[in-house]
Structure 1
Amino acid sequence: MRADNTAHLRSAAHRRSALAHDRAEAAFTDLQARNQPITVAGFARAAGVARSWIYTQPDLLERIHRSHELAPKRPRPSIPTAASDASWQRRLELAHTRIAELTAENKQLRHQLALAHGHLRSERVSPSKTPPTTQNHSSEATQTD
Structure 2
Amino acid sequence: MTDSRQRRIQTLTQAARQKSEDKTKAAETAIRSLTRRGEPITFQAVQREAGVSHSFLYTHPDLRERIERLRRQNRPTPPPPVGAATNETGDNLVLALTDEVARLKRRHREEISELGAALEQAHGENLELRRELARRGGSC
Q: TM-score normalized by structure 1?
A: 0.50
Contact 2:43 2:54 in 1 (8 A): yes
Task: State the shift of 1:74 in Å.
Answer: 5.7
- Check if 1:3 corresponds to 2:10: no
- Among candidates 22, 26, 34, match of residue 31 of structure 1: 34
Cα deviation code 1:26-79 (max 9, x no counterpart): 101001111111111111000110111111111111111111232262666x99
Q: Identify unmatched segments of 5+ residues in structure 2.
A: 80-94, 111-140
Question: How big is the alpha-carbon RMSD for the aligned residues of Structure 1 and Structure 2?
Answer: 3.3
Where do 1:27-66 residues align within 5 Å? 27-66=30-69
Structure 1 alignment gaps of length 5 or more: 87-145
- Runs of 4+, deviation exceeding 4 Å: 78-86
Asked which structure has the greater CA Rg, the reply is 1
User: 2-side partners of 1:72 and 1:15: how far apart?
Assistant: 34
Q: 1:69 to 1:19 in 2, by over 3 A?
A: same
Higher helix share: 2
Report Cα offsets for 1:106-139 as digits up to 9, x if no partner. Answer: xxxxxxxxxxxxxxxxxxxxxxxxxxxxxxxxxx
* Matched residue count: 88
The residue number in structure 1 matching 2:90 is none
Q: Distance in 1 between matches of 2:107 and 2:61?
A: 52
Matched, 1:18 2:21: yes
TM-score under structure 2 length normalisation: 0.51
Looking at structure 1, the residues matched to 57 and 65 of structure 2 have their Cα atoms a distance apart, in angstroms, of: 10
